[in-house]
Structures are given as structure tokens and as C-alpha cells.
Chains A and B, each alone.
Chain A
Amino acid sequence: MSHHRVEVNDLWFVYPDGTEALKGVSFRITHGECVAVIGGNGAGKSTLLQHLNGYLMPQQGDVRVGDFSLTPETASAVRRSVGMVFQDPDDQLFMPTVMEDVAFGPLNAGLSAGEVEVRATTALERVGMVHLRNRPPYKLSAGEKRAVAIASVLSNMPDVLVMDEPSSNLDPRGRRRLMELLRSFEHTRIIATHDLELVVELCPRVIVLDAGRVMADGPAREILGDEVLMLRHGLEKPHSLRHHHPH
């Protein structure tokens, strides 16, 4: 299916203060792929993600999501097909109850009350959080918040899921649950993260960003296992790839 495809061609972005955040980024992600975008702080990950759901517009180059090339006119269609999970769930959950938060997207899409209800409930079931439907989001635990934030995006039925640091602030069990959940999705997934162990387990493909450029793009184990490459771009070879002998 072509609408699950994300294509970035020679994307440039300079902030008003003159910081060159993206300097000719290009890649192509096809249907159902799970791709990690890694890189040190300030490598351009956040700027790139903000282009993927049309919050920032390309200054030069092109972002294609599905059949749409990103322009101010197509931004709302692009946002409908790309679900964005923010780094801090507190930024994402702003309605008085979990249910209303998850229903926010479908309501804005103009669905009927019945449909909205079904969508929201299905999304909450998917992440195992239906029992929290009437709770205010700010009272949940970090893991629950993360799950609800994901549900609030799933209820829009996006084709592509973009996640910024999905495992940050989670305890080991919460992180494990999140990984199971992410593994179970059939969406095209783009995950920006510093959690390289998560990348090893979830993502067959990795894109390395540094100083606004794509430094490497290929199979995860190959790239993450390349110690020289990783160190050069402010990263580290993950522990699980260090020891090939059994413990």
C-alpha cells in the first residue's frame, strides 16, 4: 500500500537564529517498516520529526507521506495519516479525562458520536487501558500516560506512527510493555530514540543523523555494531552487541 510510505528528499531546514538543523536529509521508508532514527543531542532528530507531521514545512527539498507532498495545503491530510507520539505525554494529554483525550482526534475528524466512542474504546483496548477511561490523565503513572498517549494517536487510525523517545521515563517493566506493544503494531513506525537496546530489539533498520545529515542508513545490527561509526557520531555500541560469547 503506497499510503504507508514516507519519503524525504534533500530536506534542508534553518532556524530563524541561523542554526542549520537539517542539511540535505534523504531517506525512503516503505510500508510496515520499523525504523529507528538515532543521533546525539542536536543532531536534528526533533526537527526532522516535526517535518513528518507537517508542523514544520520544508524550506528546501520535499517530504512525501503516502500520496501527499507536504505543503501548507496538504498538511492536514498528512497529519491524519501520521500519528505523532510526543516525548512528554503531559504535552500530549490535555483533556479532562482519558476518554475525552483519546476521542479528541476522531472528534476533530468530524465523526459521529457513536463512531468516536467506538474508535476511542478500541484504541484504549489496544493499549490495555480501558479501565482508566474516566480518570484524569495527569493522575496516571508514567507508563499509563505513555500508553494513553499512544491510544490517543491510534484512535485517529494513522498509517504511520512517529515516536519521539517512547521509552524515556519508563521503569523496566513499563519499558518492556511498551516494546511488546510497539512490536505488535503493523503500522509503519519511525522511532527517534537514545535507547539503543530498544532499537536492537525492535527496529531492523537504523538511520544515523549527525549535524543535520544522514551519516548511515541500513540494517540495525550492522550499524549499531560498528563501534567506530557509532563513536564518531556521539553514540555507543549497545551492550547487547558487545558480547558475542554466552555469559
Chain B
Amino acid sequence: MSAGAASFLEVGRLDELARLDSPIHRLDARAQALTTMAFILVVMSYPRYEVSALMPLFVYPVCVIAAGNLPVLVLLRKLAVAAPFALFVGIFNPLLDRHGVMTVGAISVTGGWLSFASIMVRFALTVSAALILISCTGIHRLCAGLEQLGMPKVFAVQLLFLYRYFFVIGDEGQRMRRSVEIRSSGSRGPGFRVYGHLIGHLLLRAMDRAQRIYRAMVARGFDGEIRRVHPTQPGWREVAYGVGWLAFFLVVRVWNLAEKLGGYFSESGL
């Protein structure tokens, strides 16, 4: 199998996961999308030095992964791929913000480090929630669900295409890289100038291909409407799922569970 196809399959793993059958997968995409959005909003609403209060929120991804039979390693790998972005966002905080805000034993922890830790925890929470959402619904069902929730059709279709063409560009990119490798015969490869050309070329090729895919969709009657073979209807299970998690998020947000629990244990002398 070609390197291009192999990388394609790796990215396509989320699509594969979306075809699993589990109580979570059977839920209507709308309930899952709303719950994920609420979760992300709650995570984002914490003050910037908060770390410990965020911890109980990990219950959500852990529970859904367990109930959805999702492979933890695959998701962790995807998380690791996105981690450098969060790292870049937060890495300067420890340098810029140097006043101590708390002490752990003899070590004084600066605000910079604390906010950096907070950014990484939030990143892990939100990105894992998004990955879980796609793994449990699949992009197609998700877009259809978002559209039913009132997202303008144009955006839903954009999202769908963005995802589809992401594979396409990855595939083209792999093929071009291979041809560069073959012709650079063991040397360290071409300079930046060549890469500039390659990227321009990649864009053109990907656009061509995207055009052909679009043409194939139009040829089979695609009119901007996302349709599904078996549309699901939300029922009491979806309501219970959404309301249950919302209640949990609110409890965690209003009371700092980690602190309460710690306080309880230290009071009772454990």
C-alpha cells in the first residue's frame, strides 16, 4: 500500500471509529453535539490560573470513551499531534508572568507556569471532546445534525467539504513528498525554494481534485442538502444524556469538587 494511502487510513481512523456500534454511537448526533459544545463552553469559562478545578471534568471524556468502546491509544495519538499548537500558545507564559501565586512545599509556582498548565489541561479536555464527538458520530452525521440544530446549511456543507478535502490534500502531499524523496537520492532534500513551489503546486492539484470530487457529487444530484439513509430522531435517551451531562458540568463549575473532596479528606484526617 502506498505511503499516501497509509496516511489516509490513519486519518480515516476517526471515520472508522464512527462506524462502531455502542450506546453512545446510537445516540442522535444533535444530543452529542450540544453536550460537547456545552462542555467546551464550561471548560473555557474558568479563570486563567485554574487547574485543579478542571480535573473533575475529565470524567466526561473518560466515561464517553468507555461507553463508546473507543480505543484510547488512537485518540491519545491524535491529541499528541495537535499538542504542539497548544504548547506554542502557552509556552511564553512562564517567561512573561513570573510572580509567585502559590507555593508547593518549598517551591514557589509562578502565575506563568500555572496558566501554562491550565492551557494544556483545557487543550486536552476540549480537543479530546471534539475527537470523541467525531469518533462517535462521523463527520457526515455530525454535519447533518448541526444543520438540524439550525446551523446555516452553507456552514454545514463547508465543514463537510473541509473534512473531505483534508484527506485529499494529505494524500496529494504524501505523493509529492515521495516523488521529491525519490529524486533527491539520499541527500538532505531540496531547499526552501523548492518547498515553496511544492506547496503552490499542492494547492493547485488539491483544488483540481476537489473540483473533480465536487463534480462527482453534483453528477449524482447533490444540491447542498445533506441527506442520510437512516435519519435518527432524538428521544428520551438523548434528553437524558444531554441533561445528565449538563447537570454534571454545572455542579463541577459551581463547586470546586477537587477542592471539596481534598478538604473533606484532610478534615476527616485521612
Contacts and interface: CB of A to CB of B under 8 A. Distances in A.
Contacts of B229: 99-100, 103, 107, 113, 116-117
A122 to B, nearest CB: 15
Interface stretch (A20-28, A78-86, A169-177, A181-189): A78-86
B94 interface: no
Contacts of B12: 136, 138
Residue of B209, B213, B230 with most partner-chain A CB within 10 A: B213
Given A94-B213, A107-B228, A139-B9, A156 B221 contact: yes
A84 B219 contact: yes
A104 B212 contact: no
A44 interface: no
B16 interface: yes
A79 B219 contact: yes
Contacts of B18: 96
Given A116-B229, A138-B5, A96 B220 contact: no
Contacts of A86: 212, 215-216
A17 interface: no
A105 B215 contact: no
Interface string A99-111: 1100111011100
A92 B216 contact: yes
A100 B227 CA distance: 10
A183 to B, nearest CB: 24
A96 B221 contact: no
A91 B230 contact: no
Interface residues of A, number: 34
B8 interface: yes
Interface in B1-40: 5, 8-9, 12, 15-16, 18-19
Interface in A13-46: none
Contact of B221 (A91, A108, A116, A139): A108
A153 interface: yes
A153 B217 CA distance: 11
Contacts of A107: 227-229
A84 B221 CA distance: 11
Given A94-B164, A136-B12, A138-B9, A108 B216 contact: no
A55 B220 contact: no
B267 interface: no
Contact of A94 (B5, B217, B223): B217
A210 B223 CA distance: 35
A103 B229 CA distance: 7
Nearest to A99: B229
B228 to A, nearest CB: 7
B15 A96 contact: yes
A240 interface: no
Nearest to A100: B229
A86 B216 CA distance: 7
A134 interface: yes
Given A86-B212, A138-B9, A95 B140 contact: yes
Contacts of B215: 50, 55, 86, 91
B216 A94 contact: yes
Contact of B140 (A76, A96, A139): A96
Nearest to A89: B216
Nearest to A88: B212
Contacts of A156: 220-221
Interface in A65-85: 76, 79-80, 83-84
A97 B216 contact: no
A108 B9 contact: no
A176 B15 CA distance: 33
Interface in A177-236: none
Interface string B223-248: 10101111100000000000000000
A96 B19 contact: yes
A106 to B, nearest CB: 9
A152 interface: yes
B218 interface: yes
A91 B209 contact: yes
5 closest A-B pairs by CB: A108-B221, A105-B220, A91-B212, A107-B227, A92-B216
24 contacts: A55-B218, A76-B221, A79-B218, A79-B220, A80-B221, A83-B219, A84-B219, A86-B212, A91-B213, A94-B216, A95-B140, A96-B15, A97-B19, A100-B140, A104-B222, A107-B227, A107-B228, A107-B229, A108-B221, A108-B225, A113-B231, A136-B15, A138-B5, A139-B9
Given A108-B220, A134-B19, A138-B9, 11 more contacts: A84-B216, A91-B216, A94-B164, A94-B217, A96-B15, A104-B220, A105-B220, A113-B229, A113-B230, A136-B12, A153-B220
